[in-house]
């Protein structure tokens, strides 16, 4: 296997794939002028990411088709229906972008998007992705360990949890009244969960820039937890001493616990979690048994001695 080093590009200078192909056709045709050839392009969905190395953490299971993953989404800021985010987020601008790292840290800082893209080499990780509604995907995410972002600041001894906050703009997104949840969306992890090598900051899927409806420009992916823990479009990361509030735990605590580990033995109040429907392989989806921690047994040590019915 050939492993190429991740290029040290500026995120804002990535050429969208269709523009790159158009440029090649133009030059092949013999033209001597291409207008603003040297001007940077705004990164957007469809932009090819280069220099991606394969991760040993990947599953070899059948991958859900790109179309299913990008048109069947939970992103309440852009609509509560599964097909609404892909329509309503089309013009969502994600560049320029920045994320603040603050709270119980020695030196808080704010990082721009180009800096985030350079924190670590990009990897493709094919992860199982289980949603609390009962459906699941297998997605080739592109990103790097979340720990690479968290290590940019030195947490104090008081830091026990990490709280995350999504971007929210009422001019571009629906209102809390329409979504039936409060905005901005908030989530949280225990610090040792956030530092686990399986937890990644995803910047792409299928070797391309992450589409808006999938959480652009970057989102968490926590493969052993239900999908709603993988917060999208992150703008703030705060290190805190006490367990932080989270959006769905505030909305319906009986259904959505803080930990939200995939556990087939703990039912949702409205349905069983013992099985799931894997989308994309067959027309109606393939019904399979749900595995503890979504099959990622390597995280079991994080919860040794805990009652996983109580800490659901």
The rounded percent of the chain whose pLDDT value lies above 70 is: 86
The residues pairing with 135 across neighbouring beta strands, listed in sequence order, are 277
Cα(91)–Cα(16) distance, integer angstroms: 16
Mean pLDDT of 195-204: 98
Confidence (pLDDT) at 20: 41
Looking at the predicted structure, is the pLDDT value of residue 17 above 60?
Answer: no
pTM for this predicted structure = 0.86
* Cα 94 to Cα 38, 43, 85, 168, 232, distances in angstroms: 21, 8, 15, 12, 12
Nearest residue to 244 via CA among 163, 155, 166:
163
The rounded percent of the chain whose pLDDT value lies above 90 is: 83
Looking at the predicted structure, is the pLDDT value of residue 224 above 60?
Answer: yes
The residues pairing with 240 across neighbouring beta strands, listed in sequence order, are 161
Confidence (pLDDT) at 44: 59
Q: Which residue ranges make up each domain of the chain?
A: 51-303
Q: How confident is the model at residue 163 (pLDDT cuts 50, 70, 90)?
A: very high
| Contact in structure between 3 and 53 (CB atoms under 8 Å) | yes
Confidence (pLDDT) at 45: 63
Mean pLDDT of 130-150: 97
- How does DSSP classify residue 121? -
State pLDDT tens for residues 264-288.
999 999 999 999 999 988 878 899 9
Dmax of the chain from CA atoms?
69
Mean pLDDT of 177-189: 98
Looking at the predicted structure, is the pLDDT value of residue 82 above 50?
Answer: yes
Q: Are strands 123-130 and 98-103 parallel, antiparallel or unpaired?
A: unpaired
Confidence (pLDDT) at 158: 98
Looking at the predicted structure, is the pLDDT value of residue 85 above 50?
Answer: yes
Question: Strand, coil or helix: what is 251?
Answer: helix
Looking at the predicted structure, is the pLDDT value of residue 56 above 60?
Answer: yes
* Cα 244 to Cα 167, 188, 254, distances in angstroms: 18, 6, 17
Mean pLDDT of 198-214: 98
Nearest residue to 229 via CA among 205, 193, 183, 264:
193
23 φ, ψ (degrees, to nearest 5):
-65, -40
Q: Please determine, looking at this structure, whether the domain spanning 51-303 carries the CATH number 3.40.50.2300.
A: no
* Average pLDDT value over all residues in the chain: 88
Confidence (pLDDT) at 16: 44
């Amino acid at each position: 296997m050939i492993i190429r080093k991740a290029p040290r590009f500026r995120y804002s200078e990535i050429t969208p794939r269709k523009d790159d192909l158009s440029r090649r056709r133009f030059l092949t045709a013999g033209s001597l002028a291409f207008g603003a050839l040297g001007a940077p392009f705004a990164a957007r969905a469809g932009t090819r990411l280069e220099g991606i190395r394969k991760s040993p953490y990947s599953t070899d299971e059948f991958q859900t088709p790109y179309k299913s993953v990008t048109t069947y989404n939970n992103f309440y800021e852009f609509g509560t229906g599964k097909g609404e985010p892909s329509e309503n987020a089309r013009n969502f601008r994600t560049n320029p972008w920045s994320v603040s790292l603050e709270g119980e840290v020695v030196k808080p800082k704010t990082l721009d998007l180009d800096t985030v893209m350079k924190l670590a080499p990009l990897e493709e990780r094919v992860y199982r992705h289980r949603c609390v509604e009962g459906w699941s995907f297998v997605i080739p995410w592109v990103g790097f360990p979340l720990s690479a972002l968290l290590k940019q600041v030195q947490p104090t001894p008081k830091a026990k949890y990490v709280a995350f906050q999504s971007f929210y703009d009422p001019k571009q997104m629906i209102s809390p009244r329409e979504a039936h949840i409060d905005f901005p969306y908030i989530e949280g992890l225990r610090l040792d969960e956030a530092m686990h090598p399986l937890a990644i900051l995803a910047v792409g899927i299928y070797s391309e820039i992450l589409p808006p409806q999938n959480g652009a420009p970057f989102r968490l992916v926590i493969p052993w937890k239900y999908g709603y823990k993988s917060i999208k479009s992150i703008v703030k990361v705060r290190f805190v001493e006490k367990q932080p509030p989270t959006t769905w735990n505030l909305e319906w605590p009986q259904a959505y616990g803080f930990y939200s580990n995939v556990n087939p033995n703990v039912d949702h109040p409205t349905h069983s979690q013992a099985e799931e429907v894997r989308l994309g392989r067959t027309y109606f989806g393939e019904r399979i048994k749900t595995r503890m921690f979504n099959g990622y047994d390597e995280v079991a040590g994080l919860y040794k001695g805990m009652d996983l019915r109580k800490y659901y």
